[in-house]
C-alpha cells in the first residue's frame, strides 16, 4: 500500500506527465488541426459566398472571431461541422412538447400570414417551418456553388441523401448545417436542469448558460431514427443543440484542459469505424463528472489525473451499457444509432487505455 508521501510523489509525477502531454501531443494536435481549418475554411467560405450570391437568405456566418471560427466544430482531425446561422426566425413559435426527444418544431405565430414570411416556401401546410425543406434547398445551392467555386477542383459534394456534406482535397469532410440561434430562451425539455441545488454549476453560471440559450439545427436526427412510430413531423423538426452552453460550463480550473487531453487521446486511440466516441460524448461525460466532483479544487491540475481516469471509467461503463445520456436532455441517448460492435470495440480499447494509465506511471509518454 502507498504511504502518503509516496502518494504525493505519484501524484506529482502524473501531473508532470500530463504537463508534458499537454505541451507536446495536445499542442501538436491543435496546431495541426488549426492549419487544416485555415485551409478548409478558405474553401468553405468561398463556396458559401457563391451560395449567398444565389440566395441572399443563406448569409454565410463562417467568420473568424478571436482566432476561432464561429460555428465550427472539430469532429476529428479530418472531419468538421460548420453551423450556418440563418437570420430572422422572429415570426415562429418554438415548441418542444417532449414528443420528439431532443427535437423541437417551429410554428408560425398566430395571425402571421404564411405568404408574408421570409421562409414562405419552407413552411408546411400546417404552418411549421420545415428543417428538411430548408436543408434540401441548401443542398441544391451548395451543389451548384461547388461547381462554380474558385476551388471547384478540390471540392466535391458528397452523396449523402440527407445531409449537406462536402469533401475537400479528397481528404477532409465538412458537414454544413443550417441553424437558428435561440438566445435568451431555455427549452422546456431542459427545464429540470440543474437537477438539484449544487455547488457546480454555480447559480450565476446557470443563469449565464440559460441566457446563452441553444441552437436549432437542421440535420438528420439519430434520436428519431429507427423509431417505429415515425410521424411525418420528424423531418420538419429541428435538433436542439447546446454546444455553446456546454462550452461555457467548462470554464474554470482545468476543465477545458481536461477536454483537450481527452480529445487528443480519442484521436490517437479511440477514432474507430462508426465513431462511437465523439468529442461531444467526451464533453458530456466531463459535465456529468463536474456534477460528481463539484469542488473547484477537484479540477485543478493536481487532480486532473484522477478526473481523466474517472471519465474513461465512466466512458467504459456507458459503452458497456450501450447508453450515454445527453447532459441537458437525459432521455436523449448519444449512442443511439451506433452499432453494438463499434461500442464493444471502443469499450475494449478504452479498457486497455485505462489499465495502461493506472498501472504504468509513464503511460502518457506513449499514448
Interacting residue ranges for ligand CTP, rule: CB under 6 A: 30, 33-34, 37, 68-69, 72, 74, 259-260, 263
Taking the least distance from each CB to ligand CTP, the nearer of 33 and 245 is 33
**Closest CB 63 distance from ligand CTP, rounded Å:** 11
CB 18 within 8 A of CB 116: no
Hey, which bits of the chain come out as E strands? 64-65, 68-69, 72-76, 79-85, 92-95, 103-108, 155-157, 165-168, 172-182, 214-217, 238-241
Minimum CB separation of residue 248 from ligand CTP in Å reads: 13
Q: Which is nearer to ligand CTP, 223 or 260 (CB)?
A: 260
Determine the 3-state secondary structure of 68 from DSSP: strand
When computed from its CA atoms, the radius of gyration of the chain, rounded to whole angstroms, is 22
Do 101 and 334 contact (CB within 8 A), yes or no? no
171 three-state secondary structure: coil
Q: Tell me how far, at minimum, the Cβ of 199 lies from ligand CTP, in Å.
A: 25
Looking at the Cβ atoms of 37 and 286, the one nearer to ligand CTP is 37
- Cβ atoms of 149 and 155 closer than 8 Å: yes
Exposed/middle/buried for residue 363 (C-beta within 10 Å: 0-12, 13-18, 19+) = middle
Reduced DSSP (H G I as helix, E B as strand, rest coil) percent helix, strand, coil of the chain, to 5: 50, 15, 35
In whole angstroms, how close is the CB of 169 to ligand CTP at the nearest point?
Answer: 18
Exposure on the CB side of residue 39, measured as CA atoms within 13 A = 17
Burial (Cβ within 10 Å: 0-12, 13-18, ≥19) of residue 328? buried
Using a 10 angstrom Cβ sphere, with 0-12 exposed, 13-18 middle and 19 or more buried, the burial of residue 331 is exposed
Q: Are 152 and 166 in contact (CB under 8 A)?
A: no
Residue with smaller CB distance to ligand CTP, 33 or 354: 33
From the CB of 62, what's the least distance to ligand CTP, in Å? 10
Based on CB atoms, which residue is closest to ligand CTP, 259 or 284?
Answer: 259
Cβ proximity to ligand CTP: between 37 and 216 the closer is: 37
Least distance in Å: CB of 261 to ligand CTP? 8
> Cβ closer to ligand CTP: 69 or 122?
69
Q: At closest approach, how far in Å is the CB of 259 from ligand CTP?
A: 6
Amino acid at each position: 500500500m502507498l504511504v502518503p508521501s509516496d502518494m504525493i510523489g505519484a501524484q506529482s509525477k502524473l501531473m508532470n506527465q500530463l504537463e508534458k502531454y499537454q505541451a507536446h501531443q495536445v499542442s501538436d494536435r491543435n496546431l495541426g488541426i488549426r492549419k487544416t481549418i485555415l485551409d478548409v475554411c478558405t474553401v468553405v467560405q468561398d463556396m458559401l459566398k457563391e451560395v449567398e450570391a444565389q440566395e441572399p437568405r443563406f448569409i454565410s456566418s463562417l467568420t473568424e472571431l478571436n482566432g476561432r471560427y464561429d460555428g465550427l466544430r472539430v469532429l476529428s482531425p479530418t472531419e468538421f461541422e460548420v453551423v450556418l446561422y440563418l437570420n430572422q426566425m422572429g415570426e415562429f413559435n418554438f415548441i418542444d412538447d417532449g414528443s420528439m426527444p431532443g427535437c423541437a418544431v417551429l410554428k408560425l405565430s398566430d395571425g402571421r400570414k404564411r405568404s408574408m414570411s421570409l421562409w414562405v416556401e419552407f413552411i408546411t401546410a400546417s404552418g411549421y417551418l420545415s428543417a428538411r425543406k430548408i436543408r434540401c434547398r441548401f443542398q441544391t445551392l451548395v451543389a451548384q456553388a461547388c461547381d462554380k467555386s474558385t476551388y471547384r477542383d478540390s471540392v466535391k459534394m458528397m452523396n449523402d441523401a440527407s445531409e449537406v456534406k462536402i469533401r475537400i482535397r479528397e481528404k477532409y469532410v465538412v458537414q454544413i448545417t443550417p441553424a437558428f440561434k435561440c438566445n435568451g430562451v431555455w427549452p422546456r425539455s431542459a427545464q429540470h436542469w440543474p437537477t438539484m441545488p449544487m455547488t457546480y454549476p454555480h447559480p450565476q453560471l446557470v443563469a449565464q448558460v440559460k441566457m446563452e440559450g441553444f441552437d436549432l439545427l437542421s440535420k438528420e436526427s439519430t434520436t428519431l431514427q429507427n423509431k417505429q412510430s415515425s410521424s411525418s413531423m420528424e423531418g420538419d423538426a429541428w435538433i436542439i443543440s447546446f454546444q455553446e452552453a456546454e462550452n461555457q460550463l467548462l470554464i474554470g480550473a482545468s476543465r477545458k484542459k481536461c477536454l483537450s487531453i481527452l480529445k487528443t487521446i480519442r484521436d490517437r486511440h479511440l477514432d474507430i469505424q462508426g465513431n462511437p466516441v465523439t468529442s461531444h460524448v467526451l464533453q458530456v461525460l466531463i459535465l456529468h463528472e463536474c456534477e460528481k466532483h463539484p469542488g473547484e479544487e477537484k479540477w485543478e491540475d493536481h487532480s486532473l489525473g484522477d478526473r481523466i481516469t474517472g471519465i474513461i471509467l465512466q466512458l467504459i461503463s456507458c459503452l458497456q451499457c450501450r447508453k450515454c445520456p445527453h447532459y441537458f436532455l437525459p432521455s436523449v441517448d448519444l449512442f443511439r444509432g451506433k452499432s453494438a460492435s463499434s461500442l464493444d470495440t471502443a469499450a475494449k480499447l478504452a479498457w486497455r487505455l485505462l489499465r495502461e494509465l493506472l498501472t504504468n506511471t509513464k503511460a502518457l509518454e506513449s499514448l
